[in-house]
Homo-oligomer: A and B are copies of this chain.
Amino acid sequence: MSGPGTTEPETALARVRVVLSHTTHPGNIGAAARALKTMGLARLVVVNPRQFPDAQATAMAVGADDVLDAARVCASLDEALAGTTLAIALTARRRDLSPLALDLRAAGGLAATEAVSGGEVAFVFGTEMSGLSNEEVMRCQRVAHIATSATFSSLNLAAAVQLAAYETRVALLGGAAPEPDRTPPATHEEVESLFAHLEASVVQSGFLDPDNRRRLMERLRRLFGRARLESQEVNILRGMLSAWDQGPHKK
């Protein structure tokens, strides 16, 4: 049932993409396509896959050829995340200074809320062996952990995709409600433009020599990622930065 103002789960599911970064085995890309489709998702994005398209991918997709054929191949994670307003990194390792961590159920709920609110969501998965790089994780606003066994945590890539898609679907069918009085969230591109400006301003001000800025930028990414910036907030912050760039105001 749906009345005016509600979003059909299908419409919301169409706003969720799954991003696979630097996948080693093409079979996993095919299996991920299948996992997506079973949960009503359709948007697969692959970043620098080792081998794709590939016969093994097609073989593993079984009936999800449409999802696989429509998969977008990108040269960078930034390209894959273009237009997103929420990116959730799936990671197994706990990291120092990571984005805010959620369990998978909470991550699915957040993704569902964002999608029914009109946002664009990405779940981001790294390589089979080593997962996501720190730099990739820091381009996301949330990290999701899957509650695997402490003694055997080695989850297959497509199985992880399956679980994330499932939790998102369950949350949507369970009636995830749009955020009330939502203000437009910043897109990935807007957020990245802010970080570029921040980095330049911090160096120009002499607060930090360029050698140490990586750590500072990670801290700032973590802080603003946690806040999940709005579009207008990015404009305000960039305006403030521009004023500081000029130095103290002469009366």
Which residues of A does B touch, CB under 8 Å?
94, 96, 101, 180-181, 201-202, 204-207, 216, 219-220, 223-224, 226-229, 232-233, 236, 239-240, 242-249
Contacts and interface: CB of A to CB of B under 8 A. Distances in A.
Chain copies in complex: 2
A230 to B, nearest CB: 8
Contact of A206 (B94, B180, B236, B249): B249
Contact of A247 (B223, B232, B247): B247
A206 B243 contact: yes
A207 B205 CA distance: 16
A204 B181 CA distance: 33
A235 to B, nearest CB: 10
Contacts of A248: 204-206, 245-247
A147 to B, nearest CB: 12
A190 to B, nearest CB: 14
